[in-house]
Structure 1
Amino acid sequence: MTVVLGPNRYGKAEIRVVRVTRDGDVHHLKDCNVGISLSGDMTDVHLNGGNAAVLPTDSQKNTVYAFAKKYGIGQIEEFALLLARHFTGSQPTIHHARVAVQEYSWERQGPHSFVRSATETRTCVVHHDRDGGSTVVSGLQDLVLLNSTGSEFHGFIEDEYTTLRPATDRVLATTVNARWRHTAASDHAMSYDFGKSYEEVRRCLVEAFAGTHSLSLQQTLYAMGERVLAAREEICEVRLALPNKHHFLVDLAPFGLDNDNEVYFAADRPYGLIEGTVLHDDAPAAGPAWD
């Protein structure tokens, strides 16, 4: 039996970069976390320890800071593409670059004062090959949504371990983690309005959640993905992970009180986790886009 080297990559993780753009007395803030993974002709370094093909991860980190200064940070997808194309274009031994960016949101409170938004984070993952092919997946994490009514759950399998009662009026709450793949971003990246696309996809997700009378969280997931694809032609695939943030009615009978869907216990764990993909049936193959 022969032992061989399989797929591999290396890079710098958790590169925190904050870029302040000073427009007179008005400042603009970008707060990001960047991760880089590179792959290519790396057999010698793994088998023999030869580093001639290796761009140090410290150099990768410094590139992020230098590019933040030279080019600024606009849309995170554009910044990620800029970095990925640089690494594959400047180093013959680097054939593929993966750049992931998380953007933390700050709300303006004055010309140069900001308040960090509570939970929601914008994300992207870019893959770029040296031959010029790119894929872009945008996303968001920790978008907290809740419907206080308009949700049911009944007609499910009941076995000897089932204690859950059917519900015809329940609280439906989730923390949305969503990613969506752009169809043609690789060819038109720098003229592509990633900012508008993000805002519109986010709006579709929220509106579909709020406007769906839900018989299951799975039904709501599909409605959210379907709304995005129907409204945004630049998106070909949506992947969603929706934890079911359970709200249980508190039993107030021991205190002589009724509880007509008014007082709940919000449980943080365990929770149901609903995951699914909604896509066009002719969507191009994703390749490594979601990795």
Structure 2
Amino acid sequence: MAITLGPNRYGKAEIRMVHVDRTTPSHVLTDLNVSVALSGDLDAAHTVGDNSAVLPTDTQKNTVYAFAAEHGVGAIEDFGLRLARHFVTTPSITRAVVTIEAYPWRRLGPHSFQRDGGESRTARITVADGGEHVISGVTGLVLMNTTDSEFVGFIKDRYTTLAETTDRILATSVTAAWRHAPAGPAGDPAEATATPTAPDADWNTSYSTARQALSDAFTGTYSRALQETLFAMGQAVLGTGKGLAEVRLSLPNRHHFLVDTAPFGLSNEGTVFHADDRPYGLIEATVRDDELPEAPQAWTS
């Protein structure tokens, strides 16, 4: 029997950090959850306990705090790129993946904030072998249409009890991640010949535009299936003109069932529903721009 070590990684997960920018009278609050995963020449650490190539996970945590203290945070994509580029300067490390979740706070005053319970902004940055890939996204974006949704014409067998409907509530909690295409000459993604990310990328504008595209497509699509809505949302994100190559979407179907009020002597014409949290349908797909370069390694650790 020949036993060998396969692909491996290690790092510090879920580094919680709050940064307050006090350089202006109106403070800027950034609330992050940062995870680092490193790969490289680490076989000896696994096979013979030799730690000479290991950058301690505690050092990785301290680096996150130090970078924020020295340089600030800014857009989470920029912050992740700075960290990942730093980690691969360690001689034994050839690949760094930095994943960031940003929690939203709503401003109440110059130095007062309220934590919103809504969606979180996400970013995943990979630096390896001279290539850089940035994936931005959102999670927990809860959307609902109270009409303009139907579900008919599906397969029916001996186990089918679901009735067809031409008017239903469509609700979901969107998890979406979109990959930025590398920039080529004059910033044109279609002409990219290398993978480094454009240094002048406006991550914040790109994020707000993509997030709005998701919401607008959900709102404006007459849905014959959640799959149709998902594809429309993916098309809308790629159509923003922000150099996005593909978007991956995960949409749970948050079912709302009409309550039978007849036993109470009451009619229910689509006004009272039971919100059922599980089990739920889960619709997932990738929508791509085939004219832009692929980067499957960007999605894996």
Which bracket does the TM-score occupy, shorter chain normalised? over 0.9
Rounded to whole Å, the distance in 2 between the matches of 1:113 and 1:166 is 50
Residue 260 of structure 1 aligns with an amino acid whose one-letter code is: E
Which one of the candidate residues 203, 212, 224 is aligned to 1:203? 212
- 1:122 counterpart = 2:121: yes
Give the deviation of 1:188 after TM superposition: 4.1
Which one of the candidate residues 279, 283, 291 is aligned to 2:292? 283
Give the deviation of 1:24 after TM superposition: 4.4
Residue 16 of structure 1 aligns with an amino acid whose one-letter code is: R
Residue 143 of structure 2 aligns with an amino acid whose one-letter code is: L
Rounded to whole Å, the distance in 2 between the matches of 1:139 and 1:230 is 16
Residue 115 of structure 1 aligns with an amino acid whose one-letter code is: Q
Q: Secondary structure at the match of 1:80?
A: helix
In the alignment, what sits opposite 1:93?
92
Residue 248 of structure 2 aligns with an amino acid whose one-letter code is: R
Query: What is the aligned-residue identity percentage?
Result: 55
The Cα offsets for residues 93-123 of structure 1, whole Å up to 9 and x where unpaired, read as 1111000000000000011110011131000
- Structure 2 contact 177–247 (Cα < 8 Å) conserved: yes
- Structure 2 contact 133–197 (Cα < 8 Å) conserved: no
- Structure 1 contact 30–103 (Cα < 8 Å) conserved: yes
Q: Secondary structure at the match of 2:137?
A: strand
Rounded to whole Å, the distance in 2 between the matches of 1:220 and 1:241 is 12
The correspondence of residues 147-166 of structure 1 with structure 2, limited to 5 A, is 147-166=145-164
Rounded to whole Å, the distance in 1 between the matches of 2:297 and 2:220 is 33
Rounded to whole Å, the distance in 2 between the matches of 1:189 and 1:266 is 45
Residue 244 of structure 1 aligns with an amino acid whose one-letter code is: N
- Structure 2 contact 133–196 (Cα < 8 Å) conserved: no
Rounded to whole Å, the distance in 2 between the matches of 1:96 and 1:56 is 15
Rounded to whole Å, the distance in 1 between the matches of 2:268 and 2:196 is 57
Residue 155 of structure 1 aligns with an amino acid whose one-letter code is: G
Normalising by structure 1, we get a TM-score of: 0.97
The Cα offsets for residues 71-99 of structure 1, whole Å up to 9 and x where unpaired, read as 1010001000100000112x111111000
Q: Secondary structure at the match of 1:288?
A: helix
- Structure 1 contact 78–189 (Cα < 8 Å) conserved: no
In the alignment, what sits opposite 2:179?
181
Question: Runs of 4+ in structure 1 displaced over 6 angstroms?
Answer: none
Which one of the candidate residues 206, 209, 226 is aligned to 1:217? 226
Q: Secondary structure at the match of 1:18?
A: strand
Rounded to whole Å, the distance in 1 between the matches of 2:134 and 2:182 is 9
Q: Secondary structure at the match of 1:125?
A: strand
In the alignment, what sits opposite 1:249?
258
In the alignment, what sits opposite 1:38?
38
Q: Secondary structure at the match of 2:173?
A: strand
Give the deviation of 1:282 after TM superposition: 3.0
Residue 15 of structure 1 aligns with an amino acid whose one-letter code is: I
Q: Secondary structure at the match of 2:298?
A: coil
Structure 1 stretch displaced more, 254-263 or 47-56 = 254-263
> Any gaps of 5 or more consecutive residues in structure 1?
none
- Structure 2 contact 135–177 (Cα < 8 Å) conserved: yes
- Structure 1 contact 36–97 (Cα < 8 Å) conserved: yes
Rounded to whole Å, the distance in 1 between the matches of 2:5 and 2:107 is 50
RMSD: 1.1
The correspondence of residues 1-150 of structure 1 with structure 2, limited to 5 A, is 1-89=1-89, 91-129=90-128, 131-150=129-148
In the alignment, what sits opposite 2:283?
274
> Any gaps of 5 or more consecutive residues in structure 2?
184-194
Rounded to whole Å, the distance in 2 between the matches of 1:56 and 1:196 is 35
Give the deviation of 1:290 after TM superposition: 1.6
Residue 158 of structure 2 aligns with an amino acid whose one-letter code is: E
Q: Secondary structure at the match of 1:154?
A: coil
